[in-house]
Amino acid sequence: MRTKFRSPMFTAVVSAAMLLSSSSAWGKQDKNHNDAFVRGTADESRIAHQVRHELVMLPYYGIFDDLAFRVDGTAITLLGAVVNPVLKSDAENVVKRVEGVTNVVNNIEVLPVSPMDDQIRRAEFRAIYGDPSIGTKYGYQALPSIHIIVKNGHVLLEGVVDSQFDKTLINTRANAVANVFSVTNNLQVTSEKQK
């Protein structure tokens, strides 16, 4: 799971699609975005793990949504973008109930309603998960690890893949979809993080 540190203290930004990876696979970065191990307090770590668990368990959280959070002591900032506005409020409500959380700032964006974006989402899903080498490896999970965020014809790919080859293949498949203005590939390669 990817965790970005914005300051020397334990301030983690955890991408939603990476919420599914085991906690031991979290890539950690220092304030200069260099790989490093940065320790937070045991309580901050416990809160981060519990917030992660609560977000993964949300019933309407799917591959067309991106949930992320930042831990600043006992304060949580929710980030990302969702298709369904109910998911935004549900995320805030479950995080508020996590023991030790004193403040929740909900900066989750609700994506605009757009039939064209819905069409692009379906086409991207077919292009990416319809490829047997990708669909078999990443698609047979309760919540697949590759998330497809579409806003006004622009596609953002978030999540975790096993290899640079998979990342490149997914990028190629995503760029082949008609009516897409741009594709931003933020997929993280787990094998690179573990080296």
Most confident range, picked from 5-19, 117-131, 136-150: 117-131
Considering the domain architecture, whether residues 8 and 79 belong to the same structural domain is answered as: yes
Last-in-domain residue among 85, 110, 135: 110
Mean pLDDT, range 138-149, rounded to an integer: 90
Query: End of a domain among 110, 130, 165?
Result: 110
Task: State residue 81's pLDDT score.
Answer: 96
Q: What is the pLDDT of residue 44?
A: 84
| More confident call, 165 vs 25 | 165
The whole-number pLDDT of residue 142 equals: 82
Among residues 145, 129, 142, 114, which one has the least CA distance to residue 19? Answer: 145
In the 8-state DSSP scheme, what is residue 108? P
With 50 as the cut, is the pLDDT of residue 31 above it? Answer: no
Q: What is the CATH number of the domain that holds 100?
A: 3.40.1520
Q: Answer whether residue 175 shows pLDDT above 50.
A: yes
Together in a domain, 125 and 64: no
Residues 10, 58 within the same domain: yes
104 with 120, same domain: the answer is: no
What spatial distance separates the first Cα and last Cα of the chain, rounded to whole Å? 14
Closest of 11, 15, 7, 68 to residue 193, by C-alpha:
15
Write down the pLDDT at residue 126: 96
| Number of structural domains in the chain | 2
Instruction: Say yes or no: 40 and 104 in one domain.
Output: yes
**pLDDT for position 101:** 93
Q: What is the pTM of this model?
A: 0.77
Cα–Cα distance measured from residue 131 to residue 143, given in angstroms and rounded to the nearest whole number: 17
Mean pLDDT of 151-171: 96
pLDDT at 64: 96
Range of the domain at 172: 115-194
